[in-house]
Amino acid sequence: MSWKLGRVAGIDLFLHPTFLLVLLPGVFGGGLSLLFILALFGCVVLHELGHALMARRFGIETLDITLYPIGGVARLERMPRAPGAELLIALAGPAVNFAIVAGLMGLGLLGLGASDSTAFLGDFLDSLMVVNLVLGVFNLIPAFPMDGGRVLRALLSGWLGRARATTIAATIGRGLAMAFGIYALFHLNLLHMALAAFIYLAAGAEERGVLAEERQRTHGDGPSERDMWSAPPGYRWVHRGQGVWQLAPIVVTTSGSRPSPSSWAS
């Protein structure tokens, strides 16, 4: 169950109740201002919209966007299988964070928050800039379930195939989650331990999903290799051979199929 916040660009926006676990201590504990948390989650929504609007360019609609304490999740109606689409959709989220950083730097250069009377605003914008930088960089870690895991998979699948590329990105994700979990255990940080467990499980779930899909495909009742590579409506892949050339989509007029929904985490 989630609470509906509204609708952006034709996509329903939900807030998961567990989000209050972060919001309430932050506000009443005095650690973070309510305004800052709202601004931060505005940035997370923009990050998810980056994925959603790029996916829309490839003919993939987003069912909804839900905000969890650990970040946002945009549920795409289907996953892009072609590496070029996956690469661009994955990069679009962090790109939004870096654009926000650039925008806030621009405001700083214009002198906003520089005088004594606006020092509070300056601190606020500086903190928001740092958080966006961290969000952008964290999401580019080349491991599932981060966006960088999808970037890595897209880049590798041209050479190794989708299953092998997924296993590599998921294995890196599980390895990093284990290291982070052990670190959090030594520091008795429950929130970080939960985050590590989430990353570990999400990396495994992604791998299982893709491997099941591949098994189905090789038994002939899943999407065929041709479907795997089918470009979105209006696009065709330049090259289906090896390497990065196949990442480039060109515009033509074709039609596409619409399989079952899947999640696009963080």
Residues in the site for Zn ion, rule: CB under 5 A?
Answer: 93, 147, 266
Question: Looking at residue 17, what DSSP letter applies?
Answer: T
Q: How far is the CA of 142 from the CAs of 68, 69, 107, 245, in angstroms?
A: 22, 22, 31, 21
Question: Which residue, 147 or 213, has its beta carbon nearer to Zn ion?
Answer: 147
**In the complex, what is the shortest distance from the CB of residue 75 to Zn ion, in angstroms, rounded to a whole number?**
13
Catalytic residue status for 48: yes
How many H-runs (helices) and E-runs (strands) does the chain carry?
8, 7
Select which of 48, 86, 207, 213 is catalytic: 48
Q: Which is nearer to Zn ion, 89 or 237 (CB)?
A: 89
CB of 4 to Zn ion, least distance (A): 21
Which residue has its beta carbon closest to Zn ion? 93
Q: In the structure encoding, which two tokens stand for residue 40, read together?
A: 């931060």
Measured from the CB atom, the residue of 84 and 136 that comes closer to Zn ion is: 136
Q: Tell me the three state secondary structure of residue 62.
A: strand
Q: How far is the CB of 29 from Zn ion (least distance, A)?
A: 28
Among all chains, which residue has been given the structure tokens 């009377």? Answer: 117
* CB proximity list for 91: less than 8 A, separation 6 or greater: 147, 151
Contact assessment for residue 6 and residue 66, using Cβ atoms and an 8 Å cutoff: no
CB of 138 to Zn ion, least distance (A): 10
CA distance readout (Å), 130 to 33, 86, 102, 153: 16, 27, 11, 28
Give 131's contacts (C-beta < 8 A, 6+ positions apart): 40, 43
Closer to Zn ion at the Cβ: 94 or 232? 94
Active site residues: 48
